[in-house]
Structure 1
Amino acid sequence: MTDHGGGTAREPVWLGVDLGTQGVRVLAATAAGTVVAKATAPLHSTRDGVRHEQDPQEWWSAFVRAAGEVTGRVAGRPVEGLAVCSTSGTVLFVEDVPGDPARPVTPALMYDDGRAGDQAARLAADPAPGWAAAGARPQASWGLAKALWLLAEYDVPESARLAHQVDVVTARLAGSAVATDWSHALKSGVDLVRTDWPYDVLDRHGLPAKRLPPVVAPGAPIGEVGTRAAELTGIPAGTPILAGLTDGCAAQVASGALAPGAWNFVLGTTLVLKGTTTEPVHDPSGAVYSHRSPDGGWWPGGASSAGAGVLAREFPDADLEALDAAAEAFDPASTLAYPLVGKGERFPFVRPDATGFLTGSPSSRSGPEESYAAYLQGVVFVERLCLAHVQRLGAPVGPVVTLTGGGAGSAYWPRLHADILDREIVVPEVTDGAFGMAVVAASPAHGSLAGAAAAMVRERVRHAPRRQAVERFDEAYGRWLDELTSRGWVQRQ
């Protein structure tokens, strides 16, 4: 747990909660964005091929532990509200029983569980008209497909309702069933134009209205912390609970990229791009889909299968900080890389057969440093192609791009982004999803989500492109595009 020691002992705080894959994170922040406490409790998964499940009871117990640590550290400060994010597309069925408003009656299928392919195909053959507006295409990883799979595989009581990962925790906090938000419900089939369920279509597929929770905008009040939850967590009874967002959207909020034309890259195991536009972005390839902002605009984006995960695979025991320091000698590297973590690419182009590559052979005198540099550059080349793709679809891209995620902590990589993308690069001070949810929780106090982000998100570092480096990387990027074109993955524009 980290205490940044900001503000006065009686200054109010807002709590942000991130229910991730590896653990639950809880964070307390002031109205000015100072993080005064945070804590993490681990989670465990069961994986077997395409199966990926978690024990939903562990979500609550881990949250209780992490929340208790944070509230112990901020004791005496008023807690003005909280909001929760979780993984996108993680679903289960729950029912209300005395003393437990979200008792699981099925396993919890995680975001990447792949067993619902048949259900996804049936949904794609009979979609709701509103799904196309957001660019949402049914897939096996969709929460809706997995809900139908659960109904087919388990004896689900008639009284049970569909729940997302976040809904289990918020219901137990409130002591009764609460509404879900349209961000988590996107992959469960919500119509983001109508901001409600397409009841007729879902009923046709076997998911009747009685099994669906109410849907509200992220940031809307959905309840208050009850007495029992207050005793377990230390969060004061009566604390407002606000509807949340998916973890990817929470990271975007933490980046502050909420004005039209603003874009944020999350540099994690794989790469995620999210931006802000006034209208949804329509992508015939299906690589880009849009969330809806509670402030009225849209958040288009896509998730690549390329990313920093390739570094852990190719350099498992290396000192990455030392390699970062050495990589600048290869601006650009003589080799070219497409840094896929596994087989197949989904953004900025869709190619299930794509495999990663490292062309040529680095000089024997360069050791692993040049290959490492090529992989770093390859990730940013993918990002440049992502920005070009959304621009071709009509989305504005401004002169500044933000970076969040683990890779943003590198001293070298953000500077490399500025040179390859030819844009100013901003790394925010706090970049995790829990902080984004603290911003959501504080949005009523600031008048809007954008107002809260403007007040709370702080800039840690900014890098401007270096003109000579931009020119060198333009040439290398052209050769990289030629390599992709020769493989039939893209067509040069």
Structure 2
Amino acid sequence: MATQTPLLLGIDCGNTVVKAALFDLNGREIAVHAQSVGTQKPAPGFTETDMDEHWQHCVSAIAGALAKAGVGGGAIAAIGVSGHGNGVYLLDRDGQPLKAIQSMDTRAEALVASGALDEAAILPLNHQGIWAAQTPVLLRWLCQHQPELYQRIGTAFLCKDSVVHRLTGARSSDFSDMSGCGLIDFGRGGYSDELLAAYGLDDAHDWLPPLHQSTEVVGEVTAASAELTGLAAGTPVVAGLFDVVASALGSGVERTGQASLIAGTWSINQVIVEQPPKPGSVFMASTFDATRFLAIESSATSTANLEWFIREFCADECQRARDRDASVYQIIAEELTDVSLPADLPLFHPYLYGAGQALHARGGFYGVTGWHDRSAMLYALFEGVVFGHRQHLDRLRAAGVSFDSVRLTGGGARSDYWAQLFADVLDVEIDTADGSETGALGAAIAAGVGAGCFADYADGTAQMTRLSAHYQPCTDKREFFERRYQFFCQLRRAMEPLWQQMAEFNQGLNSPD
């Protein structure tokens, strides 16, 4: 498809997929091309990717998007990159790929549990404490367990930074990604020796790249990268964003007090605030722009549960979705239209992959009877995922974070039934964003600001984002959902000691005699 208008390229790098998307300055998606990313699992709990292979997937995604659009690289005004936060991507002292650990990695769980890291010293500085896949925690693990590799580190940055480096040769990162991974001292507004020392990384300061605002141009596409991708040499590339920030921006969330809910593999619940939340009050704090922050509550408790259900029990529905060129989420939701809410419905805990910092939490159906069918179980799963999101929003409210509008994106937003359930359970008005590539769109908006196409984020989102649908909560269901939510929370409290005992029992079974 030929076009004469300037385009913006957004590259969105997840743990499993790289997407390159081209947009015009009105936010219209011109073309998108996705490439799967391979994950290596060299040991239990280890998730890594090959950095050379990762770059080749980026090259293919970019070239594929240009080919689908029928344009040359000269049509692109600027490029932005977003990427999964945390994990760590390492270059050696010659600037060559050394190791890339993804954000699903759990190798450092024992280190976190051991108390060897001084969380009491860390928490007041980075406002989020420690967890296994956090970048500085992984660096400390490498120091202890792979000292020879540790001594070879020349640069430690994040997924999207490695792509920016390949495109431009620039060694850079941005504030949103580095704050989201725990390496920003909020009191100082940047790196600090005190924070690094608290992680036991006194020698790491020189490895960390210069910090930039997400919209700042950090380099230009090199001749070598242009030859590989089809881009034009000299095209400006901005520092880029943490992917949850990009997704918020790409859904049109840019005003203080707006909430961005992402019902994807992870349950992401974030609100733009003027001041960072009190240390320890929420799961994660990140910068949003030069003056504001995101208060973030998240866990792998959202549509990953439905993906499991579909994979194990819904082969026919998957085929129907392919035949109709429709979303499998919409196909599955059609099964729920005849479910009666006042019925004796089961409850579901969406903890198939743990519950954030409660790693031993497990999924479960409760109150199942002989007359319940698959539709009742499926309804419980849909509702349980929304209850999980509500738990995160309750923690944000308890931390003093307020919001006056909610934008829902991710797989859950592609189902009208599920989006309405979000409005009913959360008892708030829900808007969904037009378009599915919100991460790439957010990166493209940042690129547009950096290239001077837009004055700021507000201008960029006004021109490039649109609403898809609006959902009003049904007030006559309020008492029903409130009572079921309280049962959901009571069940979690009752199960927590049992989950811990089960984990200890299973660990004993797996231990050598």
Bin the TM-score by the shorter chain. Answer: 0.7 to 0.9
Q: How does 1:61-76 map to 2 (within 5 A)?
A: 61-72=56-67, 73-75=69-71
What is the percentage of aligned positions where both structures have the same residue? 23
Q: How does 1:243-282 map to 2 (within 5 A)?
A: 243-282=239-278
8 Å contact from structure 1 (residues 123, 145) kept in 2: no
Aligned-partner residue type, residue 80 of structure 2? A
Deviation at 1:299, TM superposition (A): 0.5
**Separation of aligned partners in 1, 2:408 and 2:343:** 22
Aligned to 1:81: 78
Aligned to 2:506: none
Aligned to 1:339: 349
- Structure 1 counterpart of 2:468, from 456, 460, 469: 460
Aligned to 1:143: 135
1:130-159 superposed Cα distances (whole Å, 9 cap, x missing partner): x53552212221111212333441524557
* Ranges in structure 2 where 5+ consecutive residues have no aligned partner: 318-328, 498-513
Q: In structure 2, do the counterparts of structure 1 residues 322 and 242 end up closer, same or farther at CA, with 3 Å as the change threshold?
A: closer
Deviation at 1:467, TM superposition (A): 2.3
**Separation of aligned partners in 1, 2:109 and 2:482:** 41
Deviation at 1:66, TM superposition (A): 1.0
- Structure 1 counterpart of 2:411, from 388, 406, 409: 406
SS at the partner of 1:49?
coil
SS at the partner of 2:35?
strand
**Separation of aligned partners in 2, 1:455 and 1:299:** 22
Deviation at 1:426, TM superposition (A): 1.0
Q: In structure 2, do the counterparts of structure 1 residues 414 and 333 end up closer, same or farther at CA, with 3 Å as the change threshold?
A: farther
Aligned to 1:22: 16
* Ranges in structure 1 where 5+ consecutive residues have no aligned partner: none
Aligned to 1:313: 308
How many aligned positions are there? 470
8 Å contact from structure 1 (residues 82, 242) kept in 2: yes
Q: How does 1:157-306 map to 2 (within 5 A)?
A: 160-174=154-168, 176-186=169-179, 187=181, 189-202=183-196, 205-282=201-278, 284=280, 287-306=282-301
Aligned to 2:394: 388
8 Å contact from structure 1 (residues 128, 198) kept in 2: no
Q: In structure 2, do the counterparts of structure 1 residues 208 and 413 end up closer, same or farther at CA, with 3 Å as the change threshold?
A: closer
Aligned-partner residue type, residue 285 of structure 2? S
Aligned-partner residue type, residue 385 of structure 1? Q
Aligned-partner residue type, residue 349 of structure 2? P
- Structure 2 counterpart of 1:480, from 488, 491, 513: 488
Deviation at 1:413, TM superposition (A): 0.6
**Separation of aligned partners in 2, 1:74 and 1:452:** 25
Q: In structure 2, do the counterparts of structure 1 residues 333 and 192 end up closer, same or farther at CA, with 3 Å as the change threshold?
A: farther
Aligned-partner residue type, residue 423 of structure 1? V
8 Å contact from structure 2 (residues 282, 395) kept in 1: no
Aligned to 2:510: none
Greater percentage in helix: 2
- Structure 1 counterpart of 2:336, from 312, 327, 347: 327
Q: In structure 2, do the counterparts of structure 1 residues 353 and 9 end up closer, same or farther at CA, with 3 Å as the change threshold?
A: closer
1:174-233 superposed Cα distances (whole Å, 9 cap, x missing partner): 1x2322112222325222442321135426524333222111122211111111111111
8 Å contact from structure 1 (residues 117, 145) kept in 2: no
**Separation of aligned partners in 1, 2:383 and 2:343:** 8
8 Å contact from structure 1 (residues 266, 405) kept in 2: yes
Q: In structure 2, do the counterparts of structure 1 residues 388 and 471 end up closer, same or farther at CA, with 3 Å as the change threshold?
A: same
Q: In structure 2, do the counterparts of structure 1 residues 88 and 301 end up closer, same or farther at CA, with 3 Å as the change threshold?
A: same
8 Å contact from structure 2 (residues 126, 184) kept in 1: no
**Separation of aligned partners in 2, 1:473 and 1:126:** 37
Moved more, 295-304 or 113-122: 113-122
8 Å contact from structure 2 (residues 127, 279) kept in 1: yes
8 Å contact from structure 1 (residues 335, 358) kept in 2: no
**Separation of aligned partners in 1, 2:285 and 2:416:** 32
1:356 aligned onto 2:363: yes
Deviation at 1:82, TM superposition (A): 0.8
1:63-92 superposed Cα distances (whole Å, 9 cap, x missing partner): 111111222325256311111111211213
**Separation of aligned partners in 2, 1:391 and 1:159:** 41
Aligned to 1:469: 477
**Separation of aligned partners in 2, 1:331 and 1:139:** 38
Aligned-partner residue type, residue 54 of structure 1? T
Aligned to 2:321: none
**Separation of aligned partners in 2, 1:293 and 1:477:** 31
- TM-score of the pair, normalised by structure 1: 0.87
**Separation of aligned partners in 2, 1:455 and 1:147:** 41
Q: How does 1:51-70 map to 2 (within 5 A)?
A: 51-70=46-65
Q: In structure 2, do the counterparts of structure 1 residues 236 and 288 end up closer, same or farther at CA, with 3 Å as the change threshold?
A: same
**Separation of aligned partners in 1, 2:467 and 2:117:** 42
8 Å contact from structure 1 (residues 124, 137) kept in 2: no
Deviation at 1:259, TM superposition (A): 1.5
Moved more, 351-360 or 244-253: 351-360
Aligned-partner residue type, residue 453 of structure 1? T
**Separation of aligned partners in 2, 1:125 and 1:108:** 25
Deviation at 1:127, TM superposition (A): 6.7
Q: In structure 2, do the counterparts of structure 1 residues 358 and 208 end up closer, same or farther at CA, with 3 Å as the change threshold?
A: closer
Moved more, 34-43 or 450-459: 450-459
1:436-459 superposed Cα distances (whole Å, 9 cap, x missing partner): 211211124221123212221111
1:46 aligned onto 2:29: no
Aligned-partner residue type, residue 104 of structure 2? D
Deviation at 1:51, TM superposition (A): 0.8
Q: In structure 2, do the counterparts of structure 1 residues 29 and 470 end up closer, same or farther at CA, with 3 Å as the change threshold?
A: same
Moved more, 389-398 or 310-319: 310-319
Aligned to 1:439: 445
RMSD: 2.6
1:404-442 superposed Cα distances (whole Å, 9 cap, x missing partner): 111211121101111111211111012431122112111
Aligned-partner residue type, residue 381 of structure 2? Y
8 Å contact from structure 1 (residues 265, 403) kept in 2: yes
